[in-house]
């Protein structure tokens, strides 16, 4: 190499719209939701979203993002390219109970960057009275009163009061709002013979509201059955 010759030419880096070798390329999905500590709600749709970028340290938005992918607990989910250039993207998931892992990855050619966020999903409805035992409520009367707490944030900003439904042999005979997030539900239980050890019945309580995206959210209460205990000797028949 002659003393006047410059350094050997470096290969061009695949950032999509230019760039030369030796320059650090940044690719980020820019996930803005959820953030660490953001609560998710069981059975309530949640929108994962972000703003992807690609470029250099001095010009972080000078490149071109070619793809964004998202996995929820390891399963790929459909991602919408809202802006057409991945500067705004979103994906909708419906979480189950427990902790969840969200991974978003952006690509600019063969260069990728990713973000990982862990989030916890909580019940939308929680029975705070009576106290449950093994996910079962026990009563000896035909009229049973439950106090249900609602995670109103799961229904969006300033949601309307939910409509309540009860699935099972019991009947929902009364609903009253106690506070902004607690409701009192009165159930009428079947007037039927009760076995010596109690008669179990399935029960699912559903609250339905519409959030700002007009999506119906239905969430069963935290217990799935109740038992009517006999008030006297075996063969006792409950009556209204």
Interval 63-120: pLDDT, tens = 899 999 999 999 999 999 999 999 999 999 999 999 999 999 999 999 999 999 999 9
Same domain, 83 and 152: no
Same domain, 115 and 52: yes
Same domain, 113 and 154: no
pLDDT tens profile 157-206: 777 888 888 887 888 999 999 999 999 999 888 877 777 777 787 888 88
Q: What is the pTM of this model?
A: 0.73
Stretch 51-67: mean pLDDT: 89
Which neighbouring-strand residues pair with 101? 118
Same domain, 145 and 90: no
Q: Has residue 155 been placed in a domain? A: yes
Distance CA 239, CA 193 (A): 9
Which residues lie below 8 Å from residue 158, measured CB to CB, with a gap of 6+?
Answer: none
Same domain, 101 and 31: yes
Which neighbouring-strand residues pair with 182? 149
219-to-4, 52, 86, 124, 200 alpha-carbon distances in Å = 75, 33, 33, 6, 22
Same domain, 80 and 166: no
Which residues lie below 8 Å from residue 133, measured CB to CB, with a gap of 6+?
Answer: none
Distance CA 194, CA 141 (A): 11
Same domain, 204 and 112: no
Phi, psi at 32, each rounded to 5° = -105, -15
Question: What CATH code is carried by the domain that includes residue 100?
Answer: 2.60.40.10
For residue 60, give the nearest of 102, 110, 11, 113 by alpha carbon. Answer: 113
Number of domains observed in the structure of the chain: 2
Single out the residue in 121, 149, 178 at which a domain terminates.
Answer: 121
Same domain, 146 and 201: yes
Stretch 131-156: mean pLDDT: 82
Give the range of the structural domain holding residue 221, as residue numbers without chain letter: 124-228
Single out the residue in 58, 87, 121 at which a domain terminates.
Answer: 121
Name the helix (H) or strand (E) containing 95.
none
Name the helix (H) or strand (E) containing 172.
strand 171-177
Compute the residue count for the chain.
240
Distance CA 119, CA 100 (A): 5
Question: What CATH code is carried by the domain that includes residue 167?
Answer: 2.60.40
Token code pair at residue 206: 């559903």
Single out the residue in 121, 147, 173 at which a domain terminates.
Answer: 121
Q: Has residue 81 been placed in a domain? A: yes
Same domain, 198 and 132: yes
Distance CA 169, CA 64 (A): 59
């Amino acid at each position: 190499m002659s003393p006047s010759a410059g350094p050997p030419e470096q290969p061009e880096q695949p950032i999509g719209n230019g760039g030369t070798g030796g320059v650090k390329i940044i690719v980020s999905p820019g996930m803005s939701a959820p953030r660490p500590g953001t609560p998710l709600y069981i059975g309530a749709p949640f929108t994962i979203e972000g703003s992807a970028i690609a470029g250099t340290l001095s010009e972080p938005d000078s490149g071109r993002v070619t793809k964004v992918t998202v996995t929820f607990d390891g399963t790929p989910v459909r991602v919408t390219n809202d802006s057409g250039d991945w500067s705004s993207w979103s994906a909708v998931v419906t979480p189950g109970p427990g902790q969840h892992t969200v991974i978003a990855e952006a690509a600019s050619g063969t260069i990728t960057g990713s973000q990982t966020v862990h989030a916890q999903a909580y019940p939308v409805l929680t029975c705070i009275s009576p106290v449950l035992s093994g996910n079962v409520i026990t009563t000896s009367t035909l009229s049973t009163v439950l106090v249900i707490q609602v995670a109103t944030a799961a229904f969006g900003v300033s949601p309307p009061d939910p409509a309540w439904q009860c699935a099972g042999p019991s009947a929902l005979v009364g609903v009253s709002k106690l506070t902004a997030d607690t409701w009192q539900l009165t159930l009428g239980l079947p007037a039927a013979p009760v076995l010596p050890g109690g008669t179990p019945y399935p029960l699912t309580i559903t609250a339905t509201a519409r959030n700002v995206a007009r999506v119906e959210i239905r969430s069963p209460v935290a217990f799935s059955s109740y038992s009517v205990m006999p008030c006297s000797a075996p063969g006792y028949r409950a009556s209204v």
